[in-house]
């Protein structure tokens, strides 16, 4: 397994929440409107760190055994 694959899940869990918060921060209805306020930057950072840490802490499940056609495993026996 490559090094990036080991951290891919946590990286996505870190980037996506921050992107969502930052995207909503530049919408017309937010306090900043066209610019991101300090509070919105702090919220984006907290969302990224908390969610990324939570995703990183949960271990990936073990990969499933591949099913080989004709060995009977595809029908359960």
Residue 34 belongs to some domain of the structure: yes
Neighbours of 39 (CB within 10 A): 11
Residue 42 belongs to some domain of the structure: yes
User: With left for phi above 0 and alpha for psi between -120 and 50, is residue 63 left, alpha or beta?
Assistant: beta
pLDDT for 38? 86
pTM of this prediction exceeds 0.85: no
Number of domains the chain contains:
1
CA–CA dist 27, 47 (Å, integer): 18
Along the chain (77 residues), what's the average pLDDT of each consecutive run of 10 residues?
A: 72 88 79 76 89 82 77 58
Residue 76 belongs to some domain of the structure: no
Range of the structural domain that residue 23 is part of: 9-59
Residue 36 belongs to some domain of the structure: yes
């Amino acid at each position: 397994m490559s090094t990036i694959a080991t951290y891919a899940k946590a990286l996505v869990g870190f980037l996506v929440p921050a992107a969502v918060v930052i995207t909503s921060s530049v919408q017309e209805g937010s306090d900043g409107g066209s610019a991101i306020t300090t509070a919105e930057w702090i919220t984006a950072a907290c969302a990224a760190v908390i969610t990324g840490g939570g995703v990183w802490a949960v271990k990936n499940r073990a990969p499933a055994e591949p099913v080989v056609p004709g060995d009977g495993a595809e029908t359960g026996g």
